[in-house]
Structure formats: C-alpha cells, structure tokens
C-alpha cells in the first residue's frame, strides 16, 4: 500500500574527518578533503529543496586541544532545515579513519539512541565512505528505512594505489585495515537500495570488481559545482596578478588562450598537447598556449615523475621554438583558478583536458560554468559531461593531429564558439549545479521512500578470498592481436573471472604506444600494465604509476655510458625517440653484422656497466637496468599482490618474454609465436606450446591448466599441445 506523501526527513552519515559548516580545513589531514566539502554542500542543497523538511549530517564529535572547538559542538546549524550533529565514538581527540573501526558500533548505538529519543524515524539514511556505510547499514536495518550509499573511494582501488607507492600487502593491512574496509564495503553494497556515483565509468571499472556489484541499483548523479565561484568573465580579470603572471610569457597576449590545467603527471598527457601545438603553425597563429602544471620553486626539488614531465615540456618548447607563445607560470593560488578560466573565456579561447584517462573531469565542468568551450579526452567522465553540455569536442588523447584539428575548429568559428560557451553555462546549471543535483536526488529517493519502487536484487556469491588469488599476464602485439573473434572471446572470459583473476599486459612498447594499440583493438585497460620492456608499471583504474619500481631499478643504471659504448657498434641502430624511455635504450639489430648478445654483455661488463641485454624477434635489442625486465616486473607485482607464481599464467613468445615464462609460473607459447628464440624451452614442464594462435592459444592454455578451477599442471604433463 502506498504511504502518504510528506516532506522528507533525511540523515547523512559521514563519520571521519573534520566537518564544520564554515572555513572547512581542506587538506589539514588525509581525512579532511573533498568528501567533507561534498557532504556539507549536499546537506545544504537538499535542505533547500521544497520536498525536504530536514537534513541531519551525522559525524564524529572531536574534542581536541589542538583543534578548533567547533568540532566539539554537539549541534551546528547549516542553515534552514540542515544541521551537523556530532556523536561520541572512542577517545575524545582526533582519530584517523583507519583507527576508527573498533569505535563504529559505539557511534551507531549513540545515533540510534538519538534518533529514538527525538521520536521520529528518518525517511532515508545516506552513508558516505566505508565507515559511514558500516554505520548506515546497521541503522537502516534496525530502523527499517532505505539506505543510499556513496563510496567516494573504494578499498580495492585504494589498495592498488598503495601498492603502487611501494607499500607491501602486509604493511597495507597493518596501517589501513584494508580487509576490514573492503568487508564493510561489500556488506554496504549488499543492502544499499541505491549507490550514487559520479560517472558510468566508476560503476563499470571500480564497483564491478566487488562481489555485491549490482549495477541496476546504481545511479550517476555528479556532485554539484559552486556557480558563485565559477562563472563567466566579469570584465575585471585582466587586471589581476595571475593575468600579469601569464602575460609576461607572451609576445602577443591579446590572442585567444588555449588553457590546460593539471598536475605535472605523465597521465595528464601534456606532452601530446605540446606536440599538437608545436607542429601546427595555424594553431600558433590563432592562439597562445597557457599550461598550469602545479606550483614549483625548483624543478630539481620535485618528485621524479613531475621533474620528467616539466623537463620534457621545456625541451619541447625549445625544440619547436615556442618562446613567446607558451606560458608555464611557476605559481598560482586556489583563488586564481576561476580567474584563469575567465581569462581564457574573455579571450574567446578553449580549455583542453588531454589526459590519457579521466574518471570524472571536474575541470571541464568548471570551464563550462565559466563560459569556456572545451576539448577533452574521449575517456570516462568527459563523455558524460560533453553529452550533457554540448560545449566542445572529444578527441583521442594520443592523436596530436586530431587534438590540433579540434582546437582549430572551435577557435576558427565565432558563432560556434559562442554557441558552445552558452551551451556549457546552461548545461552546468541543468546537470552539475547543486540545485540540479538535489532535484535528481529527490527524484531518485522518493519512489523508494514511498514504496512505489522495489529495489532490484540479484543473488550474489562471495569469494573465499578478499583479493585476487591468480593472475594472467600476456604480451600485447602478437598474442592479443591477429584474431579479432578469439580476442573478443578472451576478453569475455577475463571479464567473467575478473573478481578472482587479475589481468596484466607486459609489453616492450611505451605507455602511449601501448594504449593506442589497445584502443584500436578494443582491449580493455588491464589491472596492471607493464611497459617499456618491464621498466614501467601502471595500475588500473587510473593508470597509477608504481613510484617504488623506478627507485628499485635505478640501481647502477648509467644510460649515457651505454649509449657511448654502443654508438659505433656495427649492426646496431638507435630506434626513434618515441621508442626510448628513461630506463630503456632501444636499437634495431642486424645479427649478421652486430656482436652477439654474450659479446655485448661482456663489452658492457668490461666497462663497468651492469645491465640487461634483451633481444627479441631477431631484430630488436633493448638495454635496460639490471633489475628490470618483464619477468622481474611480473614477479614484483605478484609478490606485492600476494599472488603465487604457481597460480600465474604467462603468455609470451619472444626472447623478451623468456624470463617471465621460466621458473614457477604456468606458461604458454601460442601457436603463432613458436619462435626460435624460445625453442630451448620446449622441454620445460611448465611451458605449454598451444596448437592455436593468438588469443585462441591463450584460451587453449586456460583449459589446459584448468586455470579458473584447480589451476594446476595436468597430471599428464606433455608439452607442445600433444
């Protein structure tokens, strides 16, 4: 029977961090970031909706002499209809979220007592993050009301990022209580009637790896944008300090501005933007390029990844002689960001986000709200944003020509530019403002509360293990390419088993080259991507670089000496710059003229150089650090992830893959890869030579090893598919 409709009484649960209604101390600690701002703005926005009577934001009370007394106040008004209510949980002082788990039941009991004492049950509970989910799922169950959940970040994804920073699995468990967090997330996903995400990609790539993944319960409602801060040009932005800082770089500051704003991170792909701009005289004649890439005093004092990006940008500016056309200011403040958008909009310029991967794209929304058309990567959040706002173009982030064409197209048509600017402003108000967010939220929850819509429920089966317990690694080019139908079948099998089996690609290609090939052939982003012959490691879903790996392999690495020693060797020719990287020196080799591999090893050793010399397909030669190779990288990853080599299947086929395949891994050489470089492996027990080629050969090996069940060598261990 349908219940009587009435104004809604809502409860938001966000346990950790320092939450107050004014002067939020964003960044004060690791727990006081975007989530705290989000829940405060959400509470205010919902309270202003006519269908909502009240919003209580529940958080932990913190009475700490080192902190403001605001956090010790039991109740704090947030405006009409909204307030923060704080509850005791554990010690009085501040506690990091990782240490809160033992106190969450106390928090839940205190909230339950409070709700019962006030004599009314909320219509809905909305939990935030894993700890809020733990509390919210218990309250919702005890009170018999629906639960909505927002994850903000997920434990399984966070664990990968921590592994990428060099932490071991045991350290992560000790410091972050990760298994307990993931268990809480699973329990919350099992009972939540709705899960709110920012993008469709978040649903498909992050939540799908959970046992209680139920996409029919998930809804995309992007967070709101502060339209009082991000707005079209006001006419006074040209006289600001940041305008002067930008203009001092430019010979013709009156030109249109192409604006890029991101961290100096390789994944942000600023180098491709510089290539697009540097190779287009037309684009240079039409606009200046302004790159805001973090703050710096001295590049040499930045982390190695940022150093590499900024040095590359400066070298490219010199290579293309872009002095006077490109601005890269050293400093900007938080208050300068809206002004930068306004400066670009006032110049009738374009904002560009060329990132290799972009889960959401907040900068695109900020630019749109400022009346600035955009060009963005055709990945993740930008797809949704441009579909809603119709204010720009999507491009392949690895195609510099397509990037320059898109920029020229927008800059060369004034009517189109104005239409896109207007569309962006209107689109943000309709889809990405807080009032729009509140309206979509109310539309979503009312049918649940009024019992006019029953939550879909699918049976789910929990895994015995919290994390992946097996892995599949394959080379890219000749293993995965060549048989499109078999590739589709393999991708389907990998997706069906992705909760138990990690998927990795190990290639000699650089990251940008590998991504280009993967995109062309529809190969999904793997859990781990090993590139440049084992010298770089990246993790899904954001291509997070493993920062500990470069530090590890830098041992005794002297690339300048290698290049000098091999410069005049017969039969060796350096491959193009696009194939070189910090830890890989690549040559074409003519075996008829060049010294043998053993002789090259000896030559380097005699000069005090310790390195790995890897030949593949008889024509390619890579010199990498002694601690680097595909096999070393694979073992590093499986060790960090806690996956036994005996439960790791490796598909390879050239000399570059040999050390991945030797040892305790299960291995396969697919039918098209029976290369003479691996002929010496035919008698190795754990290496299976399949009859079928390409991806079909990998599928054959999965059956041979019964990989998704027993995951063992067959009793009759014959080789060569006999």
In three-state secondary structure terms, 197 is strand
The tally of CA atoms less than 13 A away on the side-chain side of residue 697 is 30
According to the model, what pLDDT value does residue 360 have? 84
What is the rounded distance in angstroms from the CA atom of residue 217 to the CA atom of residue 462? Answer: 18
Which residue do the tokens 């080789």 mark? 719
Contact 224, 45 (CB under 8 A): yes
Query: Is the pLDDT score of 37 beyond 80?
Result: yes
According to the model, what pLDDT value does residue 719 have? 43
Query: Is the pLDDT score of 722 beyond 70?
Result: no
Lowest mean pLDDT among 118-122, 257-261, 440-444, 697-701: 118-122
- One DSSP character per residue, 373-413 reads -EEEESSSHHHHHHHHH--EEEE-TT-HHHHHHHHHHHHT-
According to the model, what pLDDT value does residue 338 have? 95
Sequence ranges of the domains in the chain? 8-220, 237-431, 468-554+627-722, 556-626
According to the model, what pLDDT value does residue 678 have? 60
Instruction: Give the residue among 180, 196, 194 at the shortest CA–CA distance from 131.
Output: 180
CATH of domain 237-431: 3.40.50.2000
Instruction: Give the residue among 59, 72, 70 at the shortest CA–CA distance from 110.
Output: 59
Q: Chain-wide mean pLDDT for the chain?
A: 90
pLDDT in tens, 539-597: 988 888 998 999 999 988 999 999 999 998 999 999 988 788 889 999 999 999 999 88
Query: Is the pLDDT score of 443 beyond 80?
Result: yes
Instruction: Give the residue among 636, 691, 631 at the shortest CA–CA distance from 665.
Output: 631
The H-assigned helical ranges of 545-629 are 548-553, 559-566, 597-606
The H-assigned helical ranges of 206-262 are 241-247
pLDDT in tens, 117-151: 888 899 999 999 999 999 999 999 999 999 999 99
According to the model, what pLDDT value does residue 683 have? 61
Which residue do the tokens 């919702």 mark? 140
According to the model, what pLDDT value does residue 90 have? 94
Which residues pair with residue 12 across a beta bridge? 57, 126
Q: What is the mean pLDDT of residues 246-251?
A: 97
CA angle 390, 406, 281 (to 5 degrees): 150
Structure tokens belonging to residue 365: 């929304």
What is the rounded distance in angstroms from the CA atom of residue 134 to the CA atom of residue 128? Answer: 9
pLDDT in tens, 331-342: 988 889 999 999
Instruction: Give the residue among 429, 439, 231 at the shortest CA–CA distance from 337.
Output: 231
pLDDT band at residue 2, thresholds of 50, 70 and 90? very low
Q: What is the signed CA dihedral for 538, 522, 588, 562, rounded to 10 degrees?
A: -10
- Strand runs labelled E in 224-366: 256-261, 287-292, 326-327, 350-353
Share of the chain above pLDDT 90, in %: 66
Query: Is the pLDDT score of 9 beyond 90?
Result: yes
According to the model, what pLDDT value does residue 456 have? 61
According to the model, what pLDDT value does residue 455 have? 63
What is the rounded distance in angstroms from the CA atom of residue 266 to the CA atom of residue 115? Answer: 49
Q: What is the mean pLDDT of residues 494-522?
A: 91
Q: What is the mean pLDDT of residues 436-441?
A: 95
Structure tokens belonging to residue 345: 């909009």
pLDDT band at residue 192, thresholds of 50, 70 and 90? very high
Query: Is the pLDDT score of 12 beyond 60?
Result: yes
Q: What is the mean pLDDT of residues 465-492?
A: 91
pLDDT band at residue 404, thresholds of 50, 70 and 90? very high
**In sequence order, which residues have a C-beta less than 8 Å from that of residue 686 and are 6 or more positions away?**
663, 664, 665, 666, 667, 713
pLDDT band at residue 714, thresholds of 50, 70 and 90? confident
Instruction: Please name the fold of domain 556-626.
Output: Hypothetical Protein Ta0175; Chain: A, domain 2 (3.90.1070)
pLDDT in tens, 350-373: 999 999 888 788 899 999 999 999
According to the model, what pLDDT value does residue 720 have? 41
The secondary structure of residue 124, as a DSSP letter, is E
Please state the three-class secondary structure of 48-75 as a single string.
CCCCEEEEEEEEECCCCCCCCHHHHCCE
What is the rounded distance in angstroms from the CA atom of residue 132 to the CA atom of residue 97? Answer: 10
Instruction: Give the residue among 67, 78, 77 at the shortest CA–CA distance from 32.
Output: 67
The secondary structure of residue 436, as a DSSP letter, is H
In CATH, which superfamily holds the domain spanning 8-220? Glycogen Phosphorylase B; (3.40.50.2000)
**pLDDT: which is higher, 703 or 685:** 703
**Range ranked top by mean pLDDT from 236-240, 294-298, 415-419, 585-589:** 415-419
What is the rounded distance in angstroms from the CA atom of residue 193 to the CA atom of residue 454? Answer: 9
Burial class (CB in 10 A: 0-12, 13-18, 19+), 74: exposed
What is the rounded distance in angstroms from the CA atom of residue 124 to the CA atom of residue 130? Answer: 18
Total residues found in the chain within this entry: 722
Max CA-CA distance within the chain? 89
pLDDT band at residue 407, thresholds of 50, 70 and 90? very high
Structure tokens belonging to residue 450: 């009024």
CA angle 145, 151, 157 (to 5 degrees): 145
Q: What is the mean pLDDT of residues 298-311?
A: 84
According to the model, what pLDDT value does residue 717 have? 45
Lowest mean pLDDT among 101-115, 199-213, 268-282, 285-299: 199-213
Which residue do the tokens 């680097």 mark? 628
Which residue do the tokens 């013709």 mark? 252
According to the model, what pLDDT value does residue 79 have? 92
Which residues pair with residue 225 across a beta bridge? 433
Q: What is the mean pLDDT of residues 371-392?
A: 94
CATH entry 3.30.230.10 includes domain 468-554+627-722: no
In three-state secondary structure terms, 577 is helix
Query: Is the pLDDT score of 469 beyond 70?
Result: yes
pLDDT band at residue 3, thresholds of 50, 70 and 90? very low
pLDDT band at residue 111, thresholds of 50, 70 and 90? very high
According to the model, what pLDDT value does residue 53 have? 96
What is the rounded distance in angstroms from the CA atom of residue 59 to the CA atom of residue 84? Answer: 7
Q: What is the mean pLDDT of residues 170-185?
A: 92
The secondary structure of residue 225, as a DSSP letter, is B
Contacts 24+ apart (CB under 8 A), 19-23: 19/57, 19/59, 19/71, 19/84, 20/68, 20/70, 20/71, 20/76, 20/84, 21/76, 21/77, 21/78, 21/79, 21/84
What is the rounded distance in angstroms from the CA atom of residue 64 to the CA atom of residue 69? Answer: 8
According to the model, what pLDDT value does residue 680 have? 60
According to the model, what pLDDT value does residue 61 have? 97
What is the rounded distance in angstroms from the CA atom of residue 325 to the CA atom of residue 252? Answer: 8
What is the rounded distance in angstroms from the CA atom of residue 393 to the CA atom of residue 410? Answer: 9
Instruction: Give the residue among 309, 390, 403, 389 at the shortest CA–CA distance from 353.
Output: 403
What is the rounded distance in angstroms from the CA atom of residue 446 to the CA atom of residue 327? Answer: 50
Structure tokens belonging to residue 438: 């509140």
Do 8-220 and 237-431 have matching folds? yes
């Amino acid at each position: 029977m349908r219940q009587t409709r009435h104004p809604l009484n809502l409860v938001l649960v966000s346990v950790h961090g320092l939450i107050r209604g004014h002067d939020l101390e964003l960044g004060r600690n690791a727990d006081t970031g975007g989530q705290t701002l989000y829940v405060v703005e959400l509470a205010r926005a919902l309270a202003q909706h006519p269908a909502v009577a009240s919003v209580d934001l529940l958080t932990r009370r913190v009475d700490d002499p080192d902190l403001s007394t605001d956090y010790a106040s039991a109740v704090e008004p947030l405006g009409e209809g909204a307030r923060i209510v704080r509850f005791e949980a554990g010690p009085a002082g501040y506690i990091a979220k990782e240490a809160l788990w033992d106190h969450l039941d106390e928090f839940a009991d205190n909230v339950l007592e409070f709700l019962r004492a006030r004599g009314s049950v909320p219509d809905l509970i909305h939990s935030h993050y894993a700890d809020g989910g733990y509390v919210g799922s218990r309250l919702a169950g005890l009170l018999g009301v629906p639960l909505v959940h927002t994850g903000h970040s997920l434990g399984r994804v966070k664990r990968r990022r921590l592994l990428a920073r060099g932490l071991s699995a045991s350290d992560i468990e000790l410091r972050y209580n990760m298994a307990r967090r993931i268990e809480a997330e699973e329990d919350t996903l099992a009972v939540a009637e709705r899960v709110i995400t920012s993008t469709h990609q978040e649903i498909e790539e992050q939540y799908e790896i959970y046992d209680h993944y139920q996409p029919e319960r998930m809804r995309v409602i992007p967070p709101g944008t502060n339209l009082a801060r991000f707005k079209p040009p006001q006419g006074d932005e040209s006289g600001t300090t940041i305008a002067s800082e930008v203009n001092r770089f430019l010979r013709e500051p009156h030109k249109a501005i192409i604006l890029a704003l991101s961290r100096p991170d390789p994944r942000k792909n600023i180098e491709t933007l510089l290539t697009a701009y540097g190779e287009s005289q037309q684009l240079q004649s039409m606009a200046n390029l302004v790159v805001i890439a973090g703050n710096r005093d001295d590049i040499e004092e930045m982390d190695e990844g940022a150093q590499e990006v900024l040095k590359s940008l400066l070298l490219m500016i010199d290579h293309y002689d872009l002095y006077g056309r490109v601005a890269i200011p050293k400093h900007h403040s938080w208050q300068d960001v809206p002004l930068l958008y306004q400066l670009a909009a006032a110049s009738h310029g374009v904002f560009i986000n060329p990132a290799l991967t972009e889960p959401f794209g907040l900068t695109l929304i900020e630019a749109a709200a400022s009346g600035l058309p955009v060009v963005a990567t055709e990945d993740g959040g930008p797809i949704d944003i441009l579909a809603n706002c119709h204010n720009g173009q999507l491009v392949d982030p690895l195609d510099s020509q397509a990037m320059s064409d898109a920029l020229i197209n927008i800059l060369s048509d004034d009517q189109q530019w104005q239409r896109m600017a207007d569309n962006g402003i209107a689109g943000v108000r309709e889809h990405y403002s807080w009032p729009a967010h509140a309206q979509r939220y109310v539309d979503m929850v009312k049918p649940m509360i009024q019992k006019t819509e029953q939550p879909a429920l699918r049976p789910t089966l929990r895994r015995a293990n919290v994390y992946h317990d097996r892995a599949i690694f394959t080379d890219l080019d000749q293993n995965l390419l060549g048989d499109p139908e078999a590739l589709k079948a393999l991708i389907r099998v990998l997706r069906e088993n992705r909760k138990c089996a990690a998927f990795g690609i190990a290639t000699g290609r650089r990251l940008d080259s590998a991504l280009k090939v993967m995109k062309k052939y529809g190969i999904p982003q793997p859990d781990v991507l090993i590139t440049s012959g084992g010298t770089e490691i990246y993790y899904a879903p954001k291509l997070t670089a493993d920062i500990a790996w470069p530090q590890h392999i830098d041992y005794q690495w002297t690339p300048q000496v290698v290049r000098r020693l091999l410069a005049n060797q017969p039969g060796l020719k350096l491959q193009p710059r696009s194939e070189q990287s910090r830890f890989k020196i690549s040559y074409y080799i003519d075996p008829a003229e060049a010294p043998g591999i053993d002789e090259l090893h000896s030559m380097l050793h005699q000069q005090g150089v310790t390195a790995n010399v890897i030949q593949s397909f008889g024509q390619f030669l890579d010199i990498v650090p002694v601690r680097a190779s595909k096999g070393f990288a694979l073992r590093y990853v499986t060790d960090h992830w806690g996956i036994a080599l005996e439960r790791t299947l490796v598909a390879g086929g050239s000399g570059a893959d040999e050390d991945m395949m030797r040892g305790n891994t299960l291995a396969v050489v697919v039918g098209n890869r029976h290369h003479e470089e691996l002929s010496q492996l035919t008698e190795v027990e754990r290496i299976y030579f399949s009859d079928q080629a390409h991806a079909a050969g990998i599928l054959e090996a999965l059956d041979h090893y019964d990989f998704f069940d027993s995951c063992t060598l067959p009793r009759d261990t014959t080789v060569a598919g006999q």
